[in-house]
Amino acid sequence: MKNLIGIEDLSTEEIEELIKVANDIMKHPELYSEKCNHKKLATLFFEPSTRTRLSFEAAMMELGGNVIGFSSASSSSTAKGESVSDTIRTVACYADIIAMRHPKEGAPLVASVKTTVPIINAGDGGHNHPTQTLTDLLTISCEKQRLDNLTIGLCGDLKFGRTVHSLITAMSRYKNIKFVLISPDELKIPEYIKEEVLEKKKIEYIETNDIEEHMEKLDILYMTRVQKERFFNEEDYVRLKDYYILNKEKLVNAKKDLCIMHPLPRVNEISIEVDDDPRACYFRQVLYGKYIRMALILKLLNIK
Ligand code: NCD
């Protein structure tokens, strides 16, 4: 594997290996602190980000490497009309590995054709977000000690939420996975995910708009934000933005060992009263994101 464009670029064995390395980094960070000496990571973010960009940068720094890049299209030559291809060919002259986020679906794939430097998709429009999925897989494996035999509730904006699309694709390769897809009608999971992943792999799933209906069955509840920036009109966003607000009351029937996840940023979809519940994993999930990205950088740079 040279690039990470979609989670399907990784075999199950490769994912297992990344999780193993991430666990080892967590236990012995000192053994990894010079692995990327003299290497440079470029983070090219044409869309806003806090966790993804900063965790990539922190990951590279903790490996002893350096970081260059930009955090908005407006501060790069994109603002002058430069194409993604030209930007990538330029940055490839300076960096050993590139993580890019772009509002256009498929932009990282286009970029990867233009260079031999490894490209990591850090989110492309409403399409995919494979490194968030690696983060989610490490979180699930550390918090639940397994990646199979799980009933996973995905709640919120399942239409535009790229983390959801990549997570369903990834989890569909493990045994006995069931999904409860919780969304308003307007924000249901895209047909292509149903046809190409869920139905093709004969995965059991239920669609509902009621967050409490199947709560007692869930091992994981993955909350998501309504993706304001992907809406065509403000009115629809305002109507749907607070459709779900997870609070203590809605968790009354939930399992004692439920794992509540969220890729973050949170807007209103999880009430802050839930943050102190030991089942709230979303801030631990942030930290797992740094370790799995460290493992991924090592893999793509072929560093043992
Ligand atoms: C997610 C994203 O960018 O898709 N955030 C992240 O990378 N942790 C989720 C979101 O923005 O809602």
DSSP 8-state secondary structure symbol assigned to residue 155: E
User: Which residue reads 């603002």 in tokens?
Assistant: 79
Which protein residues touch ligand 1 with a CB less than 6 Å away?
51-52, 123, 129, 132, 162-163, 225, 263-265
Mutate to test the pocket of ligand 1, among 71, 101, 132 (most ligand atoms within 8 A of CB): 132
What distance in Å separates the CA atoms of residue 6 and residue 25, rounded to the nearest whole number?
A: 24
What are the helix and strand counts (H, E) for the chain?
A: 9, 9
Cβ-based burial of 200 (10 A; exposed 0-12, middle 13-18, buried ≥19): exposed
Cα(287) to centroid(ligand 1), Å? 15
What distance in Å separates the CA atoms of residue 157 and residue 155, rounded to the nearest whole number?
A: 7
Q: Give the model confidence (pLDDT) of 146-199 as tens digits.
A: 999 999 999 999 999 999 999 999 999 999 999 999 999 999 999 999 999 999
Catalytic residue among 80, 175, 256, 304: 80
Residue 82 tokens read as 């430069």
Note the pTM of the prediction, 2 decimals.
0.97
Q: Give the model confidence (pLDDT) of 194-231 as tens digits.
A: 999 999 999 999 999 999 999 999 999 999 999 999 99
